[in-house]
Amino acid sequence: MPHFAANISMMFTEFDFLDRFQAAANCGFRGVEFLFPYDWPAGELAKRLLGNGLTQALFNVPPGDWQAGERGLAAVPGREQAFRDGFERALDYAESLRCKQLHVMAGLLASESDRPSAHACYVENLAWAADRAAQSGVRALIEPINTRRDMPGYFLSTTAQARDVMAEVGSDNLYLQCDLYHVQIMDGNLADTITENLSKIRHFQIAGVPGRHEPDNGEINYPFLFSLIDSLGYDGWIGCEYRPAGATVDGLAWAFDFGISGHGGG
């Protein structure tokens, strides 16, 4: 059966952030992910994980100035030192949280004319990051994010582009984060995308399309895809990166059907 990790940046928002660990555990989740940990001391987050029997599946490398609109620095020429400093900070948190995977956000492309320089910067930064992560026993992951609805201008937007970048970097510690919500919006053809890329996928994420709500709400047949992923031998995490349409617990029937069990989020 799939191993589901609750994305507590988006789920259980009825609770203060630090209380979401317990809320997720009470609903039967054994793993969590979130966008960024940097507003909280690593020791406090580690205590919440340990106290609730949770594994930290993934989090993002610092994205730059999120409030100012930055969405990653890896493909932003001129920000190389800020990217590397942020990556070192992420590794420190990963060690404290016993997290073995980091998502390296590419960033926004100012214009298509800047793509060649952004690409060169991205490849160089990823080669450094993959090597540096390997020294710490951590995987570096990249994720195509849709530019049609959620993040216009994001540098990395399709699975094919991600595979080309990984091939150019040539590292055995650079992997694909496959968010099926984004893939459906940009490419569709989910079953073939999963099958053809599973050797490089180390983390899945899910949400309903459209709306980015519960995965049983929308056009994607997730039960079919979960069975496919199982049949292919994938044993990693599937991150639930969706926005509940109402109270989080009220929308978890889909998860209970796949083995999540608990007494609610309180």
Residues designated catalytic: 143, 241
Residue 265: band (very low, low, confident or very high) from pLDDT cuts 50, 70, 90: very low
Q: Has residue 266 been placed in a domain?
A: no
> pTM for the full model?
0.96
**Domain of residue 171, residue span:** 3-257
Q: Has residue 173 been placed in a domain?
A: yes
174: its two tokens: 């650079």
Angle value at C-alpha 120, between 114 and 126, nearest 5 degrees: 125
225's CB contacts (< 8 A; 6+ apart) are 180, 190, 191, 194
- Output the pLDDT for position 261: 54
For 155-188, how does the pLDDT look when each residue is reduced to its tens digit (9 = 90+)? Answer: 999 999 999 999 999 999 999 999 999 999 999 9
Domains of the chain: total: 1
Residue 50: which CATH number?
A: 3.20.20.150
Buried b (16+ CB within 10 A) or exposed e, 220-242: bebeebbebbeeeebebbbbbbb
- pLDDT of residue 263 exceeding 50, the answer is no
Q: Has residue 262 been placed in a domain?
A: no
